[in-house]
Amino acid sequence: MLGWALTFLIIALIAAALGFGGIAGASAGIAQILFVVFLILFVVAMVARAVRGKPPV
C-alpha cells in the first residue's frame, strides 16, 4: 500500500511539473489518503503485536 502511495506521489509531481493541475491534484489526494491508511494499519499491527506479548520490531 505504501508503494501505491509513492506511485501516486510521483505521478502528482510529474503532472505538476508538466502543468496538468487536475491530474496532479487528484494524484496527490490519492497519495495522501493511501499514506494515512498505511499509517493506521501500521499502528494497528504494532498494537496487536504488543498485545500478543511480542516486542515491537
What per-residue confidence (pLDDT) applies to 57?
A: 65
Domain ranges of the chain: 2-51
Say if residue 24's pLDDT is above 80. no
The three-class DSSP label of residue 50 is helix
In terms of C-beta density within 10 A (0-12 exposed, 13-18 middle, 19 or more buried), how is residue 44 classed?
exposed
Q: Which pTM value belongs to this model?
A: 0.61
For residues 26-46, average pLDDT: 87
Mean pLDDT in the chain? 82
Cell numbers found for residue 31: 497519495
